[in-house]
């Protein structure tokens, strides 16, 4: 398996950024992508005030496609700064990609030209106000797909088609993840690929995550960056850890806050089915007692604490054989049954491309574990064999909770 990040390094937005970098001074004291965002916002204000500058943006796009060295260098500089900052953010959020693929690669290689010619050969294309469009009405799309502007330049979708042609030759299975604003274009992309005999990708559409503050727009400068969101959540998590564990060191509080903050952000996004929009709720995301990742993480930490205490009191030997037939309480059986379906939950989520299935399962597993611990004595069990069996059950729950969190890209702290 290979995870790729497709970099838009030559579209209209990049042309605006490149134009902005020449016109406004970059504040390099900031994180590089934040500095790029600042000049991008300034550029859009300028373009709104002076529409005649739009011609300069169009000229830059034409120069890039024509292979103008200086213009390409300027585009690459802007993209490099943006991507460097994006990589830093992804690293903070524990998001890993095997390869960053630039869309310009497919223009330079001639793949974009070849894909356009291949589409033309189907007889589906026609000219519409100077632009080359594809008729996909037999696939249920009333709106035609533009693959070449009237000035001869390609579009993002055209280059995306070339990218998919390349991917089809590299993999047996292709999965695309798009935002909700790509519903139409992703369908048209699949239809066009089908029409020219290229393997279609499976598509997962994620609805947008909004904040209580309302809708966001990078162009207008109305947004909260992922870094800002993570910083805010981590600060709030630190306050909670300080309240719950005032006796611990600053380093401990900071480490737990980072782990909990990351978990809160990742879990609150993934717990909802991809096709459903959601509002990030600060309070719920950091709730140690209810729905969020901290609750699941705390359950794991509780299991670790129980086992550590049992070791200290010489009440448990992990190597000792246990008798599972002694686990007969309802809460014990419920926990065992919940753990038993872990593999099938992983399989179902992977097959249906719906990670929220695992997120919901992890919360339910934490519920089952806490119910077990609430109603059944573990270390305090009078019978040694029953105690050993219950401690083994705690250890199994710890392992499955840790694996569930790890699969979701969330840390499983041993102490909180």
User: Could you report the per-residue pLDDT of 88-138, keeping only the tens digit for each?
Assistant: 999 999 999 999 999 999 999 999 999 999 999 999 999 999 999 999 999
Q: How many CB atoms lie within 10 A of CB 399?
A: 15
Confidence of residue 280 (pLDDT cuts 50, 70, 90): confident
Confidence of residue 353 (pLDDT cuts 50, 70, 90): very high
Give the rounded percent of residues in the chain with a pLDDT score beyond 70. Answer: 96
Lookup: tokens for 151: 């000035």
Q: How many CB atoms lie within 10 A of CB 250?
A: 9
User: Could you report the per-residue pLDDT of 34-60, keeping only the tens digit for each?
Assistant: 999 999 999 999 999 999 999 999 999
Lookup: tokens for 200: 């279609």
Lookup: tokens for 5: 């990040």
Lookup: tokens for 280: 């990030």
Please state the rounded mean pLDDT for residues 328-352: 97
Confidence of residue 161 (pLDDT cuts 50, 70, 90): very high
Domains of the chain: 1-96 (no CATH), 103-206 (no CATH), 226-407 (1.10.730.10)
Res 221: pLDDT: 60
Res 279: pLDDT: 82
């Amino acid at each position: 398996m290979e995870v790729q990040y497709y970099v838009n390094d030559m579209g209209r937005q990049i042309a605006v950024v490149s134009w902005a970098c020449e016109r406004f001074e970059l504040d390099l004291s900031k994180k590089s992508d934040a500095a790029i965002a600042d000049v991008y916002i300034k550029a859009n204000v300028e373009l709104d005030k002076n529409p005649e500058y739009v011609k300069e943006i169009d000229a830059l796009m034409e120069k890039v496609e024509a292979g103008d060295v200086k213009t390409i260098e300027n585009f690459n500089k802007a993209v490099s700064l943006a991507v460097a900052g994006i990589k830093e953010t992804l690293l903070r959020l524990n998001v890993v990609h095997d390869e960053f693929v630039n869309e310009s690669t497919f223009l330079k290689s001639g793949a974009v030209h070849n894909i356009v010619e291949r589409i033309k050969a189907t007889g589906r294309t026609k000219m519409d106000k100077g632009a080359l469009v594809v008729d996909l009405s037999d696939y249920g799309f009333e709106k035609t797909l533009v693959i070449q502007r009237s000035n001869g330049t390609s579009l993002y979708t055209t280059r995306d088609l070339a990218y998919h042609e390349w991917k089809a030759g590299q993999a047996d299975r292709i999965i695309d993840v798009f935002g909700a604003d790509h519903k139409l274009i992703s369908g048209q992309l699949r239809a066009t690929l089908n029409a020219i005999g290229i393997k279609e990708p499976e598509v997962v559409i994620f609805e947008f995550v909004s904040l209580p503050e309302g809708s966001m727009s990078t162009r207008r400068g109305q947004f909260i960056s992922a870094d800002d969101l993570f910083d805010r959540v981590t600060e709030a998590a630190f306050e909670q850890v300080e309240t719950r564990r005032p006796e611990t060191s600053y380093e401990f509080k900071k480490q737990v806050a980072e782990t909990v903050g990351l978990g809160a952000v990742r879990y609150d996004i993934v717990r909802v089915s991809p096709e459903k929009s959601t509002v990030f709720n600060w309070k719920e995301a950091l709730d140690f007692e209810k729905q969020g990742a901290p609750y699941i993480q705390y359950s794991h930490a509780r299991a670790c604490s129980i086992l550590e205490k049992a070791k200290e009191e010489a009440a448990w030997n992990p190597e000792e054989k246990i008798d599972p037939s002694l686990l007969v309480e309802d809460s014990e059986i419920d926990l065992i049954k919940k753990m038993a379906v872990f593999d099938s939950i992983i399989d179902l989520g992977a097959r249906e491309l719906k990670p929220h299935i695992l997120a919901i399962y992890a919360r339910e597993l934490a519920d089952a574990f806490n119910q077990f611990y609430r109603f059944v004595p573990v270390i305090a069990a009078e019978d040694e064999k029953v105690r050993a069996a219950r401690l083994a059950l705690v250890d199994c729950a710890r392992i499955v909770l840790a694996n569930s969190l790890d699969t979701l890209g969330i840390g499983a702290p041993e102490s909180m």
